[in-house]
A and B are shown apart, each in its own frame.
Chain A
Amino acid sequence: MHDDIDFDQILNQYRSDPFEYIDVRTSHTGLLQFRAKEEDVVEGVTGEWQHIKGTLLFELERERNIKPVHSSVIGVVSSIERSLEGKFVEAGETVMTIRHPLKKREIIERILKNVLSIFPAPERAKYFFAMDIQSRIDKHGQRSISIKPNDEILTMSLMKRDTPVSYQGAPGIIHSVYFEPGQTIDQGQPLLGICSEDTLPLIQKIIARVKAEWD
């Protein structure tokens, strides 16, 4: 069914703009001091154990606690809200944007989002993996988890109540996870990308194709 994917067109689209633009927001209120400039190259989290912090972007001082905020991705600072420098800012304020060059893996993920069968959020709510699924993911990785309809795979936290969510759709393995546990996801947004057995060849084809053509 997806045989008619126009790879050239899709790849060209990424070639013309191989970036993701990531807004950096304040996590809480405070006095803002920028520590990076426009066009600065920034590093994301690195190290074998993800233990080395990214580049310092700005500091937020609140209740005499100066909190450094580091970049979570690699890229270039494409814009900064200079007007906020030295100001008291609200929580959730966008203070800068980072242009993040997409990696091969990320492009594959993006293309696959159109191919995998997507399990969307049934409500605007917070989601977590069911306990046993989470422990299996921790042990063996998400790709080893095969699920079938009516499996209880997620817990939806809504109105302070936890409701189990059972999977609906074709059986397959969890190929991609699109949510962060505990973050509010709007209704209809994708939660999981499931790879069923019959889409596997197509997915492998896509991966091979992108790997071959993207550098």
Chain B
Amino acid sequence: MKDRVLIANRGEIAIRIMRACKELGLDYVIVYTDADQDSQHVHLAMEDQDGRKRAWRVASYTDPNDILAVADHTGCTAIHPGYGFFSEDYRFARRVTIRDRPLTFIGPNWEVIKSLGDKINTKRVANRLGIPTIPGTDGPIYNEMEAEEVATQLLDNQQQQKIKNPSILVKAAAGGGGMGIEEVFRIEQLRRVYRQVQNYAKRQFGDGGVLIEQCLRDYNHLEVQLVCSRHGERLHFGTRNCTIQSTGRQKRLEAAPGFDVSCFTYDFDAPKVLRQIVDYSLKLADHVNYDNVGTWEWIVARNGTPYLLEVNTRIQVENDVSARISYLHNKQPNLLREQIRLALGDTMGYDQKSIDFRGSSIELRLVAEDTNRGFAPWIGTISQFSFPQEDWAAVYTHVPFDRAYTIPSEYDPNLALVLVWGDDMTMAKNRARQFLDGTVIEGHNNHGEAIMTNIPYLRGNLERLLTF
């Protein structure tokens, strides 16, 4: 049976998935909300009619019931969750696959999502396999004595490594998103902070478990792109560097490969560290029987020590930055296409050796925001939107070029992703500058003020790429 994919997402990723489906010869259906009716992803699906209705209005992108009801009604056989929304929701993935009318969840199987979605569990499994993680506990502590012991050891170790101003973080085990985290510099402070966090955790989450780990500063954030099939084949598509982030820890600039000696003189053997994190990532993927695309996030300290941070069990925004330095039969692959194909049960059809890594690439995330005021989102109406046409660049956007577009206030004001690539990092950076110079974005908000974008910020940060 020919598959039909329901695209349970919005914005540029919905368009990319739509295109990938078409290229694979698969039919697709999209869903959209009232607020998104002017979005390009809806327009494209509406225009693609041939007698079939491909765009369905739903209550929300996060209502699984509406999405599944549309999938059933339109005869879809698979669901692509994109990124965000349901992409890492193991319950959704489970429901999709075990319901009476099962569908293929385009992503790893739900057990993997569940086990790697739990950071503490990931850390425990990694430690068991000898994969380095951030030093600290790999399970909640309930005992003050134990906490003190761990903390002392962590502080001593840092001292021995001659780390300046060593400190540790005390976190609520059940917490997340930066809530209930305290930094401790001296062991004398620990008891007080421990009790404080424990009480907070008890109050907030009903469980007084506490985690303690080394506080890392001065590091780079690297990622390893893996692509795996349902048949036990696991390949990597290199590394990328995502260190440059907004204050809210939102990525803004990414580059591949993960380190480049032309940009910075590292204190360590960069190619060796990159090899190391790739190998470790594959090792963990093998262990959990990983079976679709995924990203292994790493922290690399200034001295070159890598620590596994977490695993993102989904396609990421920046997947293409890796694809642009990987060549299969001399062509840059489309990882979304690979993801869909493999999720539907295809075999890989190539091996690691057939992937040739060369050149450098950069991704620029264009966002309507005021980077000087805490990256505050800007909303209003875009009247002019155009990019240079280059064969060394690609643009992904849901903002239409041919008509005015009001940024919906319900979602993030992302405008476009720009990918540029070249023979080396210098060339890529130059092309990025050139591309930004040729970009035209005009618009106004309700008060008649001109649009604010992060283009100056992006340009200004290009030099910081791949440095410490």
Q: B423 near A: Cβ within 8 Å?
A: no
> Considering the chains assembled together, what is the distance between the CA atoms of A93 and B56 in angstroms?
11
User: Which A-chain residue is minimally distant from B408 (CB atoms)?
Assistant: A124
A160: which of B34, B56, B412 is its contact (CB, 8 Å)?
B412
Q: How large is the interface on A (under 10, 10 to 19, 20 to 34, 35 or more residues)?
A: 20 to 34
- Cβ contacts B37-70/A at 8 Å (1 or 0 each): 0000000000000000000111100010110111
Asked, given contacts A88-B73, A91-B66, A123-B409, whether A158 binds B59 with beta carbons under 8 Å apart, the answer is: no
Q: A29 near B: Cβ within 8 Å?
A: yes
Are A91 and B58 in contact, with the CB atoms below 8 A? yes
Are A159 and B57 in contact, with the CB atoms below 8 A? no
> Considering the chains assembled together, what is the distance between the CA atoms of A41 and B34 in angstroms?
31
Are B57 and A158 in contact, with the CB atoms below 8 A? no
User: Which B-chain residue is minimally distant from A91 (CB atoms)?
Assistant: B59
* 410-451 of chain B: CB within 8 A of chain A: 410-413, 446
Are B377 and A161 in contact, with the CB atoms below 8 A? yes
User: Which A-chain residue is minimally distant from B33 (CB atoms)?
Assistant: A91
* 140-167 of chain A: CB within 8 A of chain B: 158-161
Q: A125 near B: Cβ within 8 Å?
A: yes
B65: which of A62, A159, A161, A187 is its contact (CB, 8 Å)?
A62
- B37 CB to closest chain A CB, in angstroms? 10
> Considering the chains assembled together, what is the distance between the CA atoms of A124 and B407 in angstroms?
11
> Which residues of the other chain, B, contact A29 by a CB distance below 8 angstroms?
56-59, 66, 69-70, 73
User: Which B-chain residue is minimally distant from A61 (CB atoms)?
Assistant: B69
A123: which of B59, B63, B446 is its contact (CB, 8 Å)?
B446
Are B56 and A90 in contact, with the CB atoms below 8 A? yes
Are B69 and A62 in contact, with the CB atoms below 8 A? yes
Are B379 and A158 in contact, with the CB atoms below 8 A? yes
- Cβ contacts A112-128/B at 8 Å (1 or 0 each): 00000000001111000
> Which residues of the other chain, B, contact A123 by a CB distance below 8 angstroms?
379, 409, 446
> Considering the chains assembled together, what is the distance between the CA atoms of A77 and B81 in angstroms?
40
> Considering the chains assembled together, what is the distance between the CA atoms of A199 and B35 in angstroms?
38
- A158 CB to closest chain B CB, in angstroms? 5
- Cβ contacts A177-215/B at 8 Å (1 or 0 each): 000000010010000000000000000000000000000
Are B63 and A28 in contact, with the CB atoms below 8 A? yes
> Considering the chains assembled together, what is the distance between the CA atoms of A160 and B177 in angstroms?
15
> Which residues of the other chain, B, contact A168 by a CB distance below 8 angstroms?
none
* 324-378 of chain B: CB within 8 A of chain A: 376-377
Residue among A27, A62, A93, A158 with the most chain B CB within 10 A? A62
- B366 CB to closest chain A CB, in angstroms? 16
Q: A30 near B: Cβ within 8 Å?
A: yes
> Which residues of the other chain, B, contact A28 by a CB distance below 8 angstroms?
58-59, 63, 65-66, 69
A63: which of B34, B58, B68, B410 is its contact (CB, 8 Å)?
B68
A187: which of B56, B66, B412, B446 is its contact (CB, 8 Å)?
B446
Q: A169 near B: Cβ within 8 Å?
A: no
- A84 CB to closest chain B CB, in angstroms? 14
> Considering the chains assembled together, what is the distance between the CA atoms of A160 and B412 in angstroms?
8
User: Which A-chain residue is minimally distant from B72 (CB atoms)?
Assistant: A63
Residue among B70, B73, B409 with the most chain A CB within 10 A? B409
- A30 CB to closest chain B CB, in angstroms? 6
Are A159 and B377 in contact, with the CB atoms below 8 A? yes
- B282 CB to closest chain A CB, in angstroms? 36
> Considering the chains assembled together, what is the distance between the CA atoms of A123 and B410 in angstroms?
12
Are B446 and A90 in contact, with the CB atoms below 8 A? no
Q: A92 near B: Cβ within 8 Å?
A: yes
A92: which of B57, B376, B411 is its contact (CB, 8 Å)?
B57
Given contacts A90-B56, A124-B409, A160-B412, list 20 more A-B pairs with CB under 8 A: A27-B59, A28-B59, A29-B56, A63-B68, A65-B65, A88-B73, A90-B58, A91-B33, A91-B34, A91-B58, A91-B59, A91-B66, A93-B57, A122-B446, A123-B409, A159-B409, A159-B411, A159-B413, A161-B377, A184-B35
26 example contacts (A-B, Cβ-Cβ < 8 A) are as follows A28-B59, A29-B57, A29-B58, A29-B69, A29-B73, A62-B65, A62-B66, A62-B69, A63-B68, A63-B69, A65-B65, A88-B73, A90-B57, A91-B57, A91-B58, A92-B57, A92-B59, A123-B379, A123-B409, A124-B379, A158-B379, A159-B379, A159-B413, A161-B376, A161-B377, A184-B410
B residues apposed to A, CB below 8 Å? 33-35, 56-59, 63, 65-66, 68-70, 73, 376-377, 379, 409-413, 446
For the complex of A and B, 6 pairs with smallest distance between CB atoms: A159-B377, A90-B57, A28-B59, A91-B59, A62-B69, A88-B73
